[in-house]
Amino acid sequence: MPKLLNKRSKSVSVSVEGKTLSLSNLDKVYFPEPEITKGELIHYYMETAPLIYLI
């Protein structure tokens, strides 16, 4: 599992299972109410992924 993203970054490259992913526009708002950005959503998925894999 890659390191958690810095939620203030505008873009970042991460390595997942030997593959490099380029993540950009992390400050883009995906959900206006409450304001949730792409970076925050990715951060949430990265934190919850280990729990999801258990199911």
Tell me what the mean pLDDT of segment 24-48 comes to: 91
In a domain, 1, yes or no: no
On the question of pLDDT at 35 being above 80, the answer is yes
In a domain, 23, yes or no: yes
**How far is residue 43 from each of residues 3, 19, measured CA to CA in Å?**
10, 18
Q: Which residue has the higher pLDDT, 28 or 9?
A: 28
In a domain, 26, yes or no: yes
Domain count, the chain: 1
In a domain, 38, yes or no: yes
In a domain, 3, yes or no: no
Largest CA distance in the chain: 36
Q: Which residue has the higher pLDDT, 7 or 16?
A: 16
Instruction: Give the integer Cα–Cα distance in Å for 30 and 48.
Output: 19
- The whole-model pTM stands at 0.69
Domain that holds residue 30: 11-53
What proportion of the chain, given as a percentage, has pLDDT over 70? 82
Residue with tokens 């304001």: 35
CA 43 from chain centre, in angstroms, equals 4
In a domain, 34, yes or no: yes
